[in-house]
Amino acid sequence: MFADLRAELATLPPVSIVAVGGLPITLEDGSHWLLGVPATAESVAEQLKRGLGLGAVLTHRNPKNKSLVELGELCLREGHLWTAHVLSLTVAFARCPLAVRNAFAFDRRFHLSWVEREVRDDPCTFTATASLREWYRVMGYAQEPSFRDEERAWFAKVGTLLAPLLVSKA
């Protein structure tokens, strides 16, 4: 699920999260870390819910003094995904078809970085950074017939990667 580009570039899984909010995931003593805390699906999901809650606090006015996590849960339950614009994720794609990289490259909502020697190679390795809201959209593209099968297959991999982080407890 997570990877450290410095330590794992040669062995990256097909899709992995390498940064949350622009802060890198690091590999130390065989475990992934984010800001000195173990990077697990549960810990990152909680932080993402806090971010969703932060995006919603002014809109919901919070008269019952809910925690940011509770507000984030509310956003997930109610489908208020507009709050996800306050968060960013960087996802690495390893040994990915060039057509998939191009699908992200032509979408100005994503910022890409790639291995220099693989600029025209197929397959290629790259990262894409965007708000969590845009990643929600990518998850939906897995069913979108306007994309080719190979692109939809990789969008489905993104959905599989992110689904555990975006589950409401409701």
Give the per-residue pLDDT at 55: 84
**pLDDT score of 2 more than 60:** yes
User: What residues does each domain of the chain span?
Assistant: 1-170
Tens-place pLDDT, residues 107-158: 999 999 987 777 778 899 999 999 999 998 999 999 999 999 999 999 999 9
Rg of the chain over Cα atoms, rounded to whole angstroms, equals 16
Looking at the DSSP bridge assignments, the partners of residue 32 are: 27
Q: pLDDT value at position 110? A: 96
Cα separation, 46 vs 165, whole angstroms: 8
What does the alpha-carbon distance between residue 35 and residue 20 come to, in Å, rounded to a whole number? 10
CATH architecture of 1-170: 2-Layer Sandwich (3.30)
Give the Cα separation of 134 and 169 in Å (integer): 22
Provide the token pair at 131.
């708000």
pLDDT of residue 1 exceeding 80, the answer is yes
Express as a percent the part of the chain with pLDDT over 90. Answer: 66
pLDDT band at residue 166 under the 50/70/90 scheme: confident
- Phi and psi for 50 in degrees, rounded to 5? -60, -45
Tell me the per-residue pLDDT of 30-72, one tens digit each, with 9 for 90 and over. Answer: 999 999 899 999 999 999 999 999 888 877 677 788 899 999 9
State pLDDT tens for residues 115-127.
777 777 889 999 9
Its pTM stands at 0.90
